Amino acid sequence: MTAHSKKDVESLMQRLQERHEALVEIMRGRESMKLTATGEVPALFVRAEDIRFAVDDVATALKEIKARLGKG
């Protein structure tokens, strides 16, 4: 177990939380209605490109945590 500065850990936690919140917001998408054989049903429109970028941001934050805190 290695000791890390509280400031560094909190900074990493904050960055991960911000990126996670951004991903969740993108996943909520834009509400709309979708026409099906049985009528209209509620739907969400989500841009695939936005999802990919947001997931990459979260993965990058996790890799940074692993690189900085996973040593020892």
Give the helix/strand (H/E) hosting 30. Answer: strand 30-36
24 occurs within a structural domain:
yes
1 occurs within a structural domain:
no
Structural domains in the chain (count): 1
Stated length of the chain: 72
- Band of residue 72 on the pLDDT scale cut at 50, 70, 90: low
pLDDT at 1: 77
> What is the extent of the structural domain holding 19?
6-69
Cα–Cα distance measured from residue 35 to residue 39, given in angstroms and rounded to the nearest whole number: 6
Sign of CA dihedral 27, 31, 32, 36: positive
Q: Which residue has the higher pLDDT, 18 or 36?
A: 18
Q: What is the DSSP string of 31-60?
A: EEEEEETTEEEEEEE--HHHHHHHHHHHHH
**21-61 confidence digits (pLDDT tens):** 999 999 999 999 999 999 999 999 999 999 999 999 999 99
